[in-house]
Structure 1
Amino acid sequence: MRLVCAPEDFPFQENGALNVVLYGRPGLVEDGRSARASAGQAARTDFLRARLEAAPRAWDLLSLALAIVAADLAVWRSQSADGWTREIELTVAVADAAFWNSQATALETALKFLSTDRWRLTFIDGGMQPAPPRDPIRPDQDGVVLLSGGLDSLIGAIDLASSGLNPLAVSNIVRGDGDNQAGFAAAIGGGLSHVALNHNATPPWTKEASQRARSLIFIAFGVLAGTSLAAYHDGGEVPFYVCENGFIAINPPLTGSRLGSLSTRTAHPEFLNRIQDVLDAAGLRIRIKNPYEHSTKGEMLKGCADQTLLKALAVQSVSCGRYRVFNYKHCGRCMPCQIRRAAFHAWGEPDTTFYKFAPLGRNDGDHSNFDDVRSVAMAIAEARSDGFDAWLGSALAYPRMGDLAPIRALVERGLEELATLHKHYGVK
């Protein structure tokens, strides 16, 4: 599918491509429905209203990320040749088309790894570049931390504040998580400054549900905020903390059928390292860091520097991959829920989270026979019968992974946390 993504004053052509209005309204056709997709108007308005001044190429990166998330929502996997892998041809208006075209291949490779789709990127001139605020505010924070409303980002922000750092918390607003994001920011370190943005990507038809490429919008929001800091304007490098336990960041395929983008790769080191290469090429002095790339979720809970605050807030965090499906409740049986429950078990503190499907050992389609529960059980059994390395296979065979020894050890400990959870509930 072809998409053309540009500001609303761009001379769009009606030539069969889906036109995506960036930072504006899509416009209406005769029956009152939008003939175009749109994304980014609220994010631009809220960022500029805060009188923040970001680097020009950070705005270009945001334009690309908005185009990616719009495409991710607009292009249905069910209409692809194999029912999953999409062919997406994306034209994006930016301020510096020559530079971004020089990075197109690198970005296509990163996006293919992220979503397993085939992307073709072309950049054209005419992208949005806002005028600097008359009296810009340059925050004095010493870094940026993503605050999603999840447990890992909560622990990361607590640990950073406890170490004496003062990060700017940045959130992608998601329905059901907004209150958590604001509440966590207010509770940590005496109150963290908080920038909450919403991509508002809206296609003119029903959204594709898989959303495997949305990670780039998190990165773009963090980079945008990071380049607004006083430290950045003074010529310094700004750390950008993307806090995720290493097991779910790697998200190794549990069985032979759980491959590729059936497992998310939001904080996978292969993806983050490839995006870091693009940031470096762009001269954007933002350094992406995951302090927990070699830690399990249980180890993050046990090692958190402020146990009192964590105990007060942990149960409010959201982990479930189907949270909205079950009326903003944890299902208890999806992969993220199982990792959360295993982590609480390893931590040794009571898990008072409400789980719709709590007794994982119950032998029915809602509990032990649910696909994700069976996949974990099969992975545990295979690792024990055939050996851990045979089960792991080629899951770490990527060129930008870094040192593999600690990653392998981390995955082994993460699988053992899940095994302990399954033993506790009698999953067979």
Structure 2
Amino acid sequence: MNVVLFAQAGVPEEGRSPRGCAGQAAKADFLRARLEAAPRAWDFLSIALSVVTADLAVARAESPDGWTREIDVIVAVADAPFWRTQAPAIENALKFLSTDRWRLSFVEGGMQPAPPRDPVRPNENCVVLLSGGLDSLIGAIDLTTAGKRPLAVSHVVRGDGQNQQTFAAAIGGGLKHLALNHNANPPGPNETSQRARSLVFLAFGILAATSLAAYHEGEQIPLYVCENGFIALNPPLTGARLGSLSTRTAHPEFLNRIREILVAAGLRVLITNPYEHLTKGEMLTACGDQQLLTSLAAQSVSCGRYLRYNYHHCGRCVPCHIRRAAFLAWGQPDGTSYKYDQLGLDDSDHANFDDVRSVAMALAEVKAEGLDAWLGSALSYPKIGDATPHKDLISRGLTELSALHQLFGVK
């Protein structure tokens, strides 16, 4: 399969297979803003776009175990010799992220846009990823209340665009906001799991960070990825949720691997998750502007099935569990409308739904066997460091979930 980056695929010539495409809109919007990014940041975006398109194109159902795929990707970049030295590191990061076997090769000829004639160099001193979710909302609020000037970068996803715009306009008197879309469109049907999609969101943030005036003046730019520590670690609730069956978008092991690649590339962008050791409930409680948060929190999106239920929170998936438990811990009314509200009802839509049962089983096992026995080797990662703070965090996160189940009488 051939994929055209930063342009439309066009109509294939007679006898040739259709081509995919990705990144045209992101490139156009970035250059329209007259921003100038580092060359290797463009290369990193080329890699991310190639990966997310391949992730969409290769069906998991066709792999021998129904999940793990073998994916070879050849990426055109401007600095192929350098990126060849990083291929093993990128492959390992992607393997952790998606539990697939990736093989990356690099060739010359990657896109590098001409610098704008009159470049705009924003005077913001950091970048925050603004997804439209509750955690990124809290993160952006906290940055401004701490006196920082973040550039908000969004990955436009259907159903979240309006929230992203609303939040950016409401926070700190209005944040400079850059909304980009990867527009990855491989030929043929799409794989729905999309475990590698977070790489392109990071790439957008890195690209934006290298466009700031402070970066051009030689400074290091913080890139804030704001995610509560429990969902970032996403400990497997049951044996059926091992590995990338639970998403690893902001897992500290994955972020640490990307940090090392950026250092090797000489890209002065430091990925930071200030909430790595906080639960979602603790994030809500500690937010620096409670009035603003209270006015916007219910509008944010957490649900893993939001599009499936016509832009409506399901109320029963694991992200909805964590959201609802967090509101309960916060002590403020949860104004979110949930399709399946009463978790304790003993039917297949409520207490017997798979995710509800998984949470209940995890809580029961921890109570019976202890946290360490339940976790097993779930925190045994080489780059995560001391696991003790993460264990404490998981214990507190489970306490929040337990309170939710007790409230609804889930047994």
The TM-score normalised by the length of structure 1 is: 0.95
Match of 2:246 in 1: 263
Match of 1:21 in 2: 4
Indicate yes or no: 2:285 matched with 1:302.
yes
Match of 1:198 in 2: 181
Offset, 1:33: 11
Offset, 1:195: 0.3
**Any residues of structure 2 matched to 1:40-55 within 5 Å, and which?**
40-55=23-38
**Any residues of structure 2 matched to 1:140-151 within 5 Å, and which?**
140-151=123-134
Q: Which of 84, 96, 103 is 1:101 aligned to?
A: 84
Size of the aligned set, in residue pairs, is 411
CA distance in structure 1 between the partners assigned to 2:312 and 2:16 by the alignment: 33
Q: Is the 8 A contact 1:28 1:34 kept in 2?
A: no
Question: What SS class does the counterpart of residue 349 from structure 1 fall into?
Answer: coil
Indicate yes or no: 2:270 matched with 1:287.
yes
Deviation sequence 1:235-281 (CA, Å, 0-9, x none) = 00000000000000000000111111110000000000000000000
Query: Quick one: which amino acid aligns to residue 257 of structure 1?
Result: A
Match of 1:5 in 2: none
**Any residues of structure 2 matched to 1:146-225 within 5 Å, and which?**
146-225=129-208
Q: Which of 204, 217, 220 is 1:234 aligned to?
A: 217
Q: 1:132 to 1:416 in 2, by over 3 A?
A: same
CA distance in structure 2 between the partners assigned to 1:122 and 1:337 by the alignment: 39
Q: Which of 85, 97, 115 is 2:98 aligned to?
A: 115
CA distance in structure 2 between the partners assigned to 1:29 and 1:124 by the alignment: 23
The TM-score normalised by the length of structure 2 is: 0.99
CA distance in structure 1 between the partners assigned to 2:12 and 2:171 by the alignment: 47
Query: Quick one: which amino acid aligns to residue 231 of structure 1?
Result: A
Question: What SS class does the counterpart of residue 396 from structure 1 fall into?
Answer: coil
Offset, 1:29: 3.7
Deviation sequence 1:296-318 (CA, Å, 0-9, x none) = 00000000000000000000000
CA distance in structure 2 between the partners assigned to 1:253 and 1:32 by the alignment: 47
Match of 2:307 in 1: 324
Offset, 1:404: 1.5
Q: 1:229 to 1:34 in 2, by over 3 A?
A: farther
Offset, 1:64: 0.3
**Any residues of structure 2 matched to 1:353-392 within 5 Å, and which?**
353-392=336-375
Q: Which of 307, 325, 342 is 2:325 aligned to?
A: 342
Question: What SS class does the counterpart of residue 288 from structure 1 fall into?
Answer: strand
Question: What SS class does the counterpart of residue 292 from structure 1 fall into?
Answer: coil
Match of 1:9 in 2: none
Question: What SS class does the counterpart of residue 257 from structure 1 fall into?
Answer: helix
Q: Is the 8 A contact 1:26 1:37 kept in 2?
A: yes
Q: Is the 8 A contact 1:26 1:34 kept in 2?
A: no
Q: Is the 8 A contact 2:342 2:350 kept in 1?
A: yes
Query: Quick one: which amino acid aligns to residue 48 of structure 1?
Result: L
Offset, 1:402: 2.2
CA distance in structure 1 between the partners assigned to 2:169 and 2:15 by the alignment: 41
**Any residues of structure 2 matched to 1:24-39 within 5 Å, and which?**
24-29=7-12, 35-39=18-22
Match of 1:426 in 2: 409
Question: What SS class does the counterpart of residue 196 from structure 1 fall into?
Answer: strand
Query: What percentage of aligned pairs have identical amino acids?
Result: 71
Q: Is the 8 A contact 1:226 1:240 kept in 2?
A: yes
Q: Which of 60, 66, 81 is 2:49 aligned to?
A: 66
Structure 2 gap segments, 5+ residues each: none
Query: Quick one: which amino acid aligns to residue 348 of structure 1?
Result: G
Offset, 1:31: 9.3
Indicate yes or no: 2:367 matched with 1:413.
no
CA distance in structure 2 between the partners assigned to 1:50 and 1:249 by the alignment: 32
Question: What SS class does the counterpart of residue 311 from structure 1 fall into?
Answer: helix
Q: 1:230 to 1:323 in 2, by over 3 A?
A: same
Offset, 1:34: 7.6
Question: What SS class does the counterpart of residue 358 from structure 2 fall into?
Answer: helix
Q: Is the 8 A contact 2:56 2:190 kept in 1?
A: yes
Offset, 1:405: 1.3
Q: Which of 347, 352, 357 is 2:335 aligned to?
A: 352
Query: Quick one: which amino acid aligns to residue 312 of structure 1?
Result: S
Q: 1:294 to 1:120 in 2, by over 3 A?
A: same
CA distance in structure 2 between the partners assigned to 1:369 and 1:33 by the alignment: 50
CA distance in structure 2 between the partners assigned to 1:346 and 1:33 by the alignment: 58
Query: Quick one: which amino acid aligns to residue 192 of structure 1?
Result: L
Question: What SS class does the counterpart of residue 195 from structure 1 fall into?
Answer: strand
CA distance in structure 2 between the partners assigned to 1:168 and 1:348 by the alignment: 31
Offset, 1:81: 1.0
CA distance in structure 1 between the partners assigned to 2:15 and 2:309 by the alignment: 32
Query: Quick one: which amino acid aligns to residue 271 of structure 1?
Result: F
Offset, 1:206: 1.5
